[in-house]
């Protein structure tokens, strides 16, 4: 059994000290971090981007298969991804947590290890937060702050008719990773565990899918490539709810329609194999899966030659006149209307 320190042994202030003791700011815009009533930031003449997300145990994450460190990493990463999705650079983060007695100091340290790893990898300073108690599960609220050069932030509403539609990485892998975890959890729950044998789920050869679900990466590398290539996207967002639903957001806000080509949708080999094993249509997974955290963006037709040079970016279609609607052109040339089957509230 690993060490277990009760949070009550340290108290709220002791816990905060423990979590934030070695923080050294990496950004000039971080004037003052943890330790006062507010953090102080100095952005001079830059535009400031702010994004926040709240995650509830049992609704947004399941601790039976998500380790605390991964949870921290992913919670931070999804906020960082939102800053990149505006063509911004992430700089600071605040983390607020509500904890029940079930959690030990060591559990929360693990959570922060993940958060701080994601921060370090993206040059983000942890500058504050709040710590409070919860009667039930764990709640995490993260705010990320970033910057964009004046006039360079990219919105969802800027796409023009005929613009090219691009996507980074590949789609559907995170969703297949989730299916895999859910399957193993069901196996675990339906077998007896009184033989003293540790539960050993079979994930061999599926590591990539698990990683896409448990340890997603925000695509700062794509933002840097776009900058180096001198490409200013006309619209952009990150894919958290599935390509189909995100495309419809871009089209609705930009007053366009779109055509995307099924054969151009990037899918990893493991995603395809797993979908077959689960008897699912791999394109349905790629279009509606969610949690990929890839970037979806549009560029003017005149950037065609530049955009096809980008690493790990695929051109999947183009914007059209709004009255044409949103379509998927299948391999056989059929036009199917896109439907959003993204996240819906289960309240």
Cα separation values, 306 from 75, 169, 221, 234, 235, Å: 33, 17, 16, 14, 17
* Nearer Cβ to ligand ADP (94/234): 94
| Contact of residue 214 among ligand ADP, Mg ion, none (CB under 5-8 Å per partner type) | none
If one asks whether residue 22 binds ligand ADP (CB under 6 A), the answer comes out as no
> Minimum CB separation from ligand ADP for residue 185, in Å?
29
From ligand ADP, Mg ion, none, which one binds at residue 19 (CB under 5 to 8 Å depending on kind)?
Answer: ligand ADP
Is residue 17 within the footprint of Mg ion (CB under 5 A)?
no
Kind of pairing, strands 326-329 and 257-261? Answer: parallel
The answer to whether residue 202 forms part of the interface with Mg ion (CB under 5 A) is no
Q: How far apart are CA 327 and CA 336, in angstroms?
A: 5
Distance CA 66, CA 213 (A): 10
Q: Does the protein bind Mg ion through residue 130 (CB under 5 A)?
A: yes
Nearer to ligand ADP, 7 or 209 (CB): 7
Q: How many residues bind Mg ion (CB under 5 A)?
A: 1
Between residues 69 and 156, which has the closer beta carbon with respect to ligand ADP?
A: 69
Q: How many of the chain's residues bind ligand ADP (CB under 6 A)?
A: 14
The reply on whether position 335 binds Mg ion by CB under 5 A is no
To the nearest 10°, the Cα dihedral for 219, 66, 118, 150? Answer: 50
Distance CA 57, CA 338 (A): 32
Identify which range of 126-134, 149-157, 163-171, 316-324 contacts ligand ADP by CB under 6 A: 126-134
Half-sphere exposure of 281 (CA within 13 A, CB side): 5
Angle at 138 between CA 63 and CA 25, to 5 degrees: 100
Q: Does 128 bind ligand ADP (CB under 6 A)?
A: yes
Q: How far is the CB of 118 from ligand ADP (least distance, A)?
A: 14
- Number of Cβ within 10 Å of residue 45's Cβ equals 6
Parallel, antiparallel or unpaired: strands 235-239 and 257-261: unpaired
Q: What is the dihedral of CA 219, 221, 224, 229, to 10 degrees?
A: -110
Nearest to 242 by CA among 195, 178, 186: 178
User: 194, exposed or middle or buried, with CB in 10 Å at 0-12, 13-18, 19+?
Assistant: exposed
* 140 in contact with ligand ADP (CB under 6 A): no
Residue closer to ligand ADP by CB (options 36, 194) is 36
Out of 97, 116, 316, 328, the only residue in the binding site for ligand ADP (CB under 6 A) is 97
Bridge partners of residue 295, in order along the sequence: 238
Query: Any idea which residue has 């005149």 for tokens?
Result: 302
Q: Which is nearer to Mg ion, 130 or 276 (CB)?
A: 130
Nearest approach in angstroms of CB 330 to Mg ion is 54
Beta carbon of residue 243, minimum distance to Mg ion (angstroms, whole number): 39
Q: Is residue 253 near ligand ADP by the rule CB under 6 A?
A: no
**Residues near ligand ADP (CB under 6 A):** 16, 19-20, 34-37, 95, 97, 126, 128-131
């Amino acid at each position: 059994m690993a060490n277990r320190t009760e949070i009550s042994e340290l108290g709220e202030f002791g816990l905060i000290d423990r979590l934030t003791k070695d923080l050294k700011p990496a950004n000039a815009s971080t004037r003052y971090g943890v330790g006062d009533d507010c953090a102080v930031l100095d952005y001079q003449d830059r535009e400031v981007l702010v994004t926040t997300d709240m995650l509830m145990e049992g609704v947004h994450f399941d601790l039976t298969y998500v380790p605390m460190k991964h949870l921290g990493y992913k919670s931070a990463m999804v906020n960082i991804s939102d800053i990149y999705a505006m063509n911004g650079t992430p700089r600071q983060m605040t983390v607020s947590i509500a904890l029940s007695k079930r959690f030990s100091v060591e559990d929360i340290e693990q959570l922060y290890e993940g958060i701080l790893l994601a921060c370090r990898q993206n040059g983000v300073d942890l500058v504050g937060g709040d710590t409070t108690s919860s009667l039930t599960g764990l709640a995490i609220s993260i705010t990320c702050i970033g910057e964009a050069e004046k006039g360079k932030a990219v919105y969802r509403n800027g796409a023009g008719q005929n613009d090219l539609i691009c996507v980074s990485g590949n789609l559907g892998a995170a969703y297949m990773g989730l299916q895999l975890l859910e399957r193993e959890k069901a196996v675990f729950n339906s077998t007896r565990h009184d033989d003293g044998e540790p539960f050993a789920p079979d994930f061999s050869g599926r590591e990539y899918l698990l990683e896409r679900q448990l340890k997603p990466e925000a695509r700062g590398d794509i933002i840097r490539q776009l900058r180096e290539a001198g490409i200013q996207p006309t619209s952009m967002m990150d894919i958290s709810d599935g390509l189909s639903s995100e495309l419809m957001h871009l089209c609705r806000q930009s007053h366009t329609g779109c055509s995307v080509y099924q054969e151009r949708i990037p899918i990893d080999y493991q995603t395809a194999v797993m979908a077959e094993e689960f008897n699912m249509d791999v394109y349905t997974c790629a279009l509606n899966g969610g949690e990929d955290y890839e970037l979806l963006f549009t560029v003017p037709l005149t950037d065609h030659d530049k955009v096809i040079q980008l690493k790990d970016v695929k051109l999947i279609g183009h914007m059209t006149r709004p009255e044409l609607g949103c379509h998927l052109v299948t391999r056989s040339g059929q036009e199917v209307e896109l439907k959003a089957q993204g996240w819906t509230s289960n309240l």
